[in-house]
A and B are shown apart, each in its own frame.
Chain A
């Protein structure tokens, strides 16, 4: 009675071990495939569909950059931000808000926006010292 139960116990233990090992192996392989494809074929950021990290006025953004460019970079650089301000200049595919924020669009702009108050979403790419402007790209109109 005792001997048979020991045998079955051993058998059960063996089975358990095999199932655990195969489960771990499966998990590792699937994780490997997931990471491989996740990294190699990583989707590009879609700024238009991302929720903004900050939603501020054009003036505030420039103030922050003028106060401390390094600190402002650490806060805003590469982030999706929403900027509100009056359109002071427009060209084919760019607009400038309050003479301080340069917005680059992917497509050519159709509707006239000059002098209108607008909210633009885009990715902050940094501060342009030549013209003392903050630049954002991949812009969309909100």
Chain B
């Protein structure tokens, strides 16, 4: 009798141990697995390089890719240069052929980290974070630090922000003939709706 009881106990303990282990496995898989990655493939980047009293120099891409790892704050983004659309066809051609040389350098990338990122602190009202990393445009990489506003969105977060870039920092030559028609600092707006 005594012996049977202990055997039963042992089986129950074994079962609960297996259950516990399975639960642990699920938790581990959830926290470190792909479930924590928020992505977008149709992010938005707009840039403005207009000068007052000259023709508008602006373009937009609606097919920007981005990935945010919620546990670490690691962030990566990629935009295809040919995906930028201008209002004026000639401007788009010059942008691709003369300035960005998009046949040679088809993409611009960013790889970095959002400092002190904590997904539990994200609320509906936008909160400022510092995003530090390497920005590569026109085949040239430069370390940048920008402010990113992050707020809660259905199924993920919304990351928006603005920063400025100088063409000469990325070896983009602008001929003196059009120099006064293009701003020294190019204003770049981004808007990523990152979801699971």
CB under 8 Å from chain A, chain B span 54-97: 62-63, 65-67, 76-78, 80-83, 85, 89-90, 92-93, 96
Determine whether the beta carbon of A94 is less than 8 Å from that of B41. Answer: yes
Q: Is B106 close to A, CB under 8 A?
A: yes
B186 to chain A, nearest CB (A): 20
Task: Report if A126-B67 is in contact (Cβ < 8 Å); known contacts: A40-B90, A77-B82.
Answer: no
Q: Does A137 contact B (CB under 8 A)?
A: yes
Q: CA A76 – CA B96 in complex, angstroms?
A: 16
Shortest beta-carbon distance from A18 to chain B in Å: 38
The reply to whether A44 and B89 form a contact with Cβ atoms under 8 Å apart is yes
Contact A126-B106, Cβ < 8 Å, known A40-B90, A102-B63, A137-B63? yes
Main secondary structure of the interface of B (DSSP, over half): strand
- Evaluate whether A91 and B78 lie within 8 angstroms (CB atoms) in the complex, with A42-B90, A135-B83 already known: no
Q: Would you call B78 and A128 a contact (CB within 8 A)?
A: yes
Q: Which residue of A lies closest to B77 (CB)?
A: A130
In the complex, what's the smallest C-beta–C-beta distance from B171 to chain A, in angstroms? 20
Contacts of B80 in A (CB 8 A): 125-126, 128, 135
Q: A residues 113-139 with Cβ under 8 Å of B?
A: 123-131, 133, 135, 137
Which residues on the B side are within 8 Å of A91 (C-beta)? Answer: 42
When distances are taken between beta carbons in the complex, the residues of chain B under 8 Å from A42 are: 89-90, 93
Q: Is A93 an interface residue (CB 8 A)?
A: yes
A19 CB–B CB distance under 8 Å? no
